[in-house]
Structure 1
């Protein structure tokens, strides 16, 4: 199963792709779509759409996940974030991908075990889990979203979340053990 995770934003839309094969987590790619801030919002959205379509064509994921909107930024910021999220979801749906929407706190809890983890903590755990340094914080978040989507499944009920946490605990323990052996 190859999953693309999307961390939407009008200035920076992070993307990350992981694959789960034979119970192994494999890094495929990550990056950020960053349209010029000197062009109109419509052109920026079109740029996100075009770039994301190319990424999907290149990597051919089987599933997608996107972060739900956190509505604490203010009306203007939330609206712009919503536009980027909407265009991203449209591209994912147009590509025939199932879309899992995940709240930010659930992504953080799934990856770090703590729902209020910092971006640095997310990046550090992604580095340990995938043995790769993400290109930036936005792509680290996108990789975390993709990993979370696999672990929580399509329905993140309490029982599924508990199973996901158990699987993640094993993956984290393996990554930490591997890191310890390197030292």
Structure 2
């Protein structure tokens, strides 16, 4: 398997800068695509990576930001429309969404839950595998501690993707952190499985 994605899905400067990019993944793309999503009704952050055997590579990153003057139902409709367009362009095999957690602000928790519902429904309808992580799970997978800071996650995301700077605001790096956490956990599970299989075949 080649380690370099084809030109059609090569990340561009807009992705590196954390801006929305019109990159499109071809139907016959041989590499798995993982899309991380930091949900919200005012700002939804997303980050997509290409999973290579040598390590992940940035595909696209950005935000979906409905007009602030829209009502909540209108913002949710905008997010649904734009997120479905994103799914069609990036064609992820896995969508990783931040799992709901109890927040001190009840209204904020409700808004996040509404945004999550839109994303969950769209991802499932698209046919992607849907994975949900608590924020602490993603942090532990990337920085070794569930109490890690957003800045630490951003720095590790840049390091794993071979970037000098983190691609965009924290909404974007949180989303990339989710995608990278899936990649790290899946690679670790694969390594443990291979070790177990090799060990079981050893002569006694």
What's the TM-score once normalised by structure 2's chain length? Answer: 0.73
1:152 aligns with 2:179: no
More helix by share: 1
* Larger displacement relative to structure 2 (65-74 or 78-87): 65-74
Q: Quick check: which has more Rg, 1 or 2?
A: 2
Partner of 1:25, secondary structure, is strand
- What is the rounded CA distance, in whole Å, between the counterparts of 2:87 and 2:98 in structure 1? 17
| C-alpha distance in 2 between matches for 1:72 and 1:78 | 6
How far did residue 16 of structure 1 move? Answer: 0.5
2:140 alignment partner in structure 1 = 109
Does the residue aligned with 2:40 lie in a helix, a strand or coil?
Answer: coil
SS at match of 2:96: strand
Q: Deviations over 1:62-113 (max 9, x none)?
A: 1111010121232211111100000011110111111011111010111111
CA offset at residue 117 of structure 1?
Answer: 1.4
CA-atom RMSD in angstroms: 1.8
Uncovered stretches (5+) of structure 1, i.e. residues with no partner? 154-158, 164-183
User: Would you say how many aligned residue pairs link Structure 1 and Structure 2?
Assistant: 158
The answer to whether the 8 A contact 2:45-2:62 is kept is yes
CA distance in 2, matches of 1:30, 1:115: 24
Q: Is the 8 A contact 2:157 2:180 kept in 1?
A: no
Q: 2 CA distance for matches of 1:142 and 1:37?
A: 21
Q: TM-score scaled to structure 1, two decimals?
A: 0.81
Q: How does 1:30-109 map to 2 (within 5 A)?
A: 30-109=61-140
The alpha carbon displacement at 1:23 in A equals 3.5
Displacement of 1:17: 0.3
Q: Provide the C-alpha distance between the structure 2 equivalents of 1:34 and 1:42, rounded to a whole number of angstroms.
A: 14
C-alpha distance after superposition, 1:144-176 (max 9, x if no partner)? 1011123334xxxxx95x95xxxxxxxxxxxxx
* Aligned residue in 2 for 1:135: 168
> After the TM superposition, which parts of structure 1 deviate over 2 Å for at least 4 consecutive aligned residues?
150-153
